[in-house]
Amino acid sequence: MTTGTRILVLNAGSSSLKYQLIDMLDGSRAAAGLVERIGEPAGRLAHTPRSGAGREQLRFFPDHGAALTAVAAELSADGLGLDSPELAAIGHRVVHGGRRFTEPTVVTDEVLAEIRRLIPVAPLHNPANITGIEVARGLRPDLPQVAVFDTAFHATLPEYAARYAIDREVADEHRVRRYGFHGTSHRYVSRATAQLLGKDPAEVNVIVLHLGNGASASAVAGGVCVETSMGLTPLEGLVMGTRSGDVDAGVVFHLHRVGGLGIDEIDALLNRRSGLLGLCGDNDMREVVRRSQEGDAPARLAFDAYVHRLRKYLGAYCAVLGRVDAVAFTAGVGENSAPVREAACAGLDTLGIAVDAELNSVRSSRARIISPEYARVAVAVVPTDEELEIAQQAFALVHTAVE
């Protein structure tokens, strides 16, 4: 039986490993950091302990195993090693859980095999997540490894929202459907928004706008997700930093047949050279706003296209939910960009949505309401905390498992 009160949260990307060691008694971080450029000559580990100065290692980390071993050594130096009895579990962010994984899951060989079977629908993400789990298991085979899936919160989408209107047999054979992503953030933020309103999540309908490098919207009715903007992959929906979001699927045929582009080129175009970057050459919203305020036409177009798409989803999700109690902005752009929030909500008074200019301009890292008192819908800025959500889910699971 575990008596530990800490959870190590790992988020393994293709060449990076982010980690946070979270104290579950108060949600505080005992340590955090990341290893970047794994497998490249100039790798970097940046470690931030709770107290004292941060530490940096600039060297070659050949693979995720080497990276996690180095992280474990840094944690040991702080007296927080992976062998500590304080550690209750390791929580892993796993991007794609398919239809099977709708809850946090203790990793077994069979679970790992199933996550591997999902690689064709998440070729960029699941392999790295699997590596993270395998490496962590190797270092602490006795400790529960808990997988928390980005898709899980969207498993409640009604069938008519999850299905693309294509031949059912073909879709089922290839597992083509709308899974949605950023679910850990949408879940956390929708609940935190209810808390901000002093209500139970079951009582409120919330539209969550997660606007980071990747961006997605969700409609959450009484704590249950009923619609989200990402689909089979994280490409669908909003205009993002480098991803196009919605395009007519015919664009792909056209670029292939008429433009002569190969399928991988089109994939790279839509995922990595589109969105804000494709429209104006910058994918950082700070730069886009700065340039457009200076009168730069491509940057203005990029900003307007970004906001236009956001407003289309906002309006659509009002229709999906019927009654909306709150709109919550979160992630890098949502938490920090007053111009995006202002433009997204401008002129929506008939929907009950409005932003108070003064409240919107306040910079803060706390959850807050930015709509005027008279507004029917509360517009809120709610910082997301995916790591805490993963840790809480993992902690709850290992405690239920041993009781």
Active site residues: 150
CA distances from 12 to 55, 96, 132, 211, 222 (A): 20, 13, 5, 21, 32
The answer to whether 10 and 93 are in contact (CB under 8 A) is yes
Residue 139 CB, shortest distance to ligand ADP, in Å, is 26
Binding site for ligand ADP (CB under 6 A): 212-214, 241, 284-286, 331-333, 336-337
Q: How far is the CB of 340 from ligand ADP (least distance, A)?
A: 7
Dihedral (Cα; 288, 294, 298, 302), 10-degree rounding: 40
Cross-strand partners of 218: 208, 228
Compare residues 199 and 290 and give the one whose CB is closer to ligand ADP. 290
Distance CA 217, CA 129 (A): 24
Least CB distance to ligand ADP at residue 327 (A): 18
Largest Cα span, the chain: 63
Closer of 2 and 336 to ligand ADP (Cβ): 336
What is each CA distance from 149 to 40, 134, 136, 388, 389, in whole angstroms?
28, 16, 17, 14, 11
The 3-state DSSP class for residue 24 equals coil
Instruction: Identify which of residues 6 and 182 has a Cβ nearer to ligand ADP in the complex.
Output: 182
Which residue is at the shortest CB distance from ligand ADP?
332
DSSP 8-state code for residue 353: -
Residue closer to ligand ADP by CB (options 13, 49) is: 13
